[in-house]
Structure 1
């Protein structure tokens, strides 16, 4: 009934090999997408750290924006909001009468205006996923970290609060990284 096998592969063997190759290919594709998300997330984290470093250096020195003409010797900061999850704003001119932004000491809130900030766009599918204060711990939809001339510490503001620090969570796919800024002006990555 069955003839003895001489050479070659049976159809079943060929289908098993094709199924194994398809399975390996799909695993590699999934790992490739996750690796791309991690690289984009690390790049965005470096962008946020660079923005903080620039605001701190400019705030402590009273320096102007590279394209600007006025010195903002009363402060530089960053502003992030979950309403614009791909944007980091570096702003200057805190409290200057000729600058296009205002700071209300009573409310401890800075109004960011169009002429006095530099916009950094996060690449890929990285977004600001969450913002929260540290001591008191409270979720917020926006956060400011301000550096003033002659003051080494950072001034941190969220809606109606002045927490001791700020945690900004960047996310890409299922991966996320927390950037923690404390009131001493130090910031670090918490994975």
Structure 2
């Protein structure tokens, strides 16, 4: 009887790490972010913004992993100055960026465990417009467990102003916490 208890205890002890170390298929992070507008035709009307985002990354055994990111940003500051169109005409409607929602997909590459880079692209919703955006990112984890992360990104939204063909560019700094 004692041999069975000892054998069962050793088997349980040996197998418990195998069950507790199963890696999740997806890592999910909640981000808070600050955006500083670098270029836009109405930069004075939307000089900075803040927002929230979710980032999901597939946990593969490779250093290159697919990812999906959804962010929502609000631009509250406005200098209340009317900006004319590049041709000198009055705008038919307000071109100020009040909010921006991005749905970007791409890949993340982690050369070492604590550092990662990402490149993603997808639709950006600014007001009633759907525009194409791209977002290169560099980030790092504060610990080996990868529970808390910080990242710096450049978001470029192409052809925000159809008349001039100018893009909307913003520098984004985010802090994230792992949910899954």
Q: Which has the higher contact order (CA 8 A, sep 6+)?
A: 2
Q: Which has the greater radius of gyration?
A: 1
Higher helix fraction: Structure 1 or Structure 2? 1
With structure 2 as the length reference, what TM-score do the two structures score? 0.30
